[in-house]
Amino acid sequence: MVDYFVSFGIKDIIDVVCVSLLLFYLYKLMKRTGSLNMFIGILVFILVWIVVSQVLKMQLLGAVMNKLVDVGVIALIVLFADDIRHFFRDIGTSTRTRKLFHWLVRRHNGQDVTKWEPVAKACESMSHNKEGALIVIGETDELHDVIASGEAVNANINQFLIENIFFKNSPLHDGAMIIVGDRIESAACILPVSQSEELPKSFGLRHRSAMGIAEKTNAVAVVVSEETGIISVFHKGSFQRDMTADGLMRYLSENVR
C-alpha cells in the first residue's frame, strides 16, 4: 500500500480527477432525466462487488457478482439508452464544444445573433402586451414526437407570424411552437410537464412545460408570461428569468446549434 502511494504521480492525479468529473457529470445527467436513484443503486452494487471480490476475497459470492457484472453491461445499455443518447448529445451541443468547432472552422458568431432577432423581437413585443407564449427551439430527432402532436406550420421564422400565432384569439395560441433550424415546424404542440420542486410556485403550466422539455431534451424553451410579461428561458434542466431581447438573442446564439 505504501509503495502504491509513493509511485502515485501526476498522471494518476489527472486520472482520478477525470473519473471524478465523469461521475459528477453522470450524476447531474441522471438527476435531470429522473434516473438518479437507479444510478446510485448501481454505484452501491459496484462498491459491494469490489469489496466482496477484491477486499474480502469471497470466491462464491464474488463469482456470482462477476457474472452479474458481465451481463449487467448489456442490461445497462438497454436501461440507460435514452441517457446515453443525452450524454453524447450534451457533449456535441455544449457551449465549449460549439465554440471550439466555430474556432476551428473560423465561423463568426455574430451571424447566429442576427438569426434569432425575429424570435427575440416577437417575445419583446408579446412581453409588452402581456401575451403568453411558449417557443421550443431544438433538433428534429429529439422533438419528432412533440412536433407530431401539434399543427403543422412549416414556415420561415418571422416576427409577425410568431405574434399572430400566440395572439389570444388565435386557435394555435395554446401549446408550444417548435422551431427547428430556420423553420417554424408546428404550433399548439403538447409538451411533458415537469414535476420539479425547485421551480418557483409562481410558475404556471407554460413554465412547467418548458422545464419538462428542457429536462428531457437539449432544446431551449422560451416562455413569455401572460401575467407578468417576463421572458424566461429553460435549457438542460435550468432556467433564467428577466431576459431582454438582446440577452435572448445572445443566449440562443450560444445555446442553440
Domain ranges of the chain: 2-80, 111-255
pLDDT reported for residue 224:
97
Percent helix, strand and coil across the chain, each to the nearest 5: 60, 15, 25
Q: Residue 180 pLDDT more than 70?
A: yes
pLDDT reported for residue 109:
45
Is the whole model's pTM more than 0.95, yes or no? no
Residue showing cell 456535441: 92
CB 190 within 8 A of CB 149: yes
Instruction: Render pLDDT for 121-131 as a digit per residue (tens, 0 to 9).
Output: 999 999 999 99
CB 136 within 8 A of CB 146: yes
Instruction: Render pLDDT for 51-88 as a digit per residue (tens, 0 to 9).
Output: 887 778 787 777 777 777 777 667 666 666 666 666 66
Q: Residue 7 pLDDT more than 90?
A: no
- How many CB atoms lie under 10 A from the CB of residue 120? 23
CB 170 within 8 A of CB 164: yes
Q: What is the mean pLDDT of the chain?
A: 82
CATH topology for 111-255 is: YojJ-like (1 (3.40.1700)
Residue 17: band (very low, low, confident or very high) from pLDDT cuts 50, 70, 90: confident
CB 134 within 8 A of CB 221: yes
Contacts for 185 with CB less than 8 Å, ≥ 6 apart: 140, 143, 147, 152, 153, 154, 178, 179
Least confident of 12-21, 92-101, 127-136, 163-172: 92-101
Sheet holding 238-240, edge to edge: 151-156, 183-189, 176-180, 133-138, 220-224, 231-235, 238-240
Least confident of 13-22, 80-89, 110-119, 141-150: 80-89
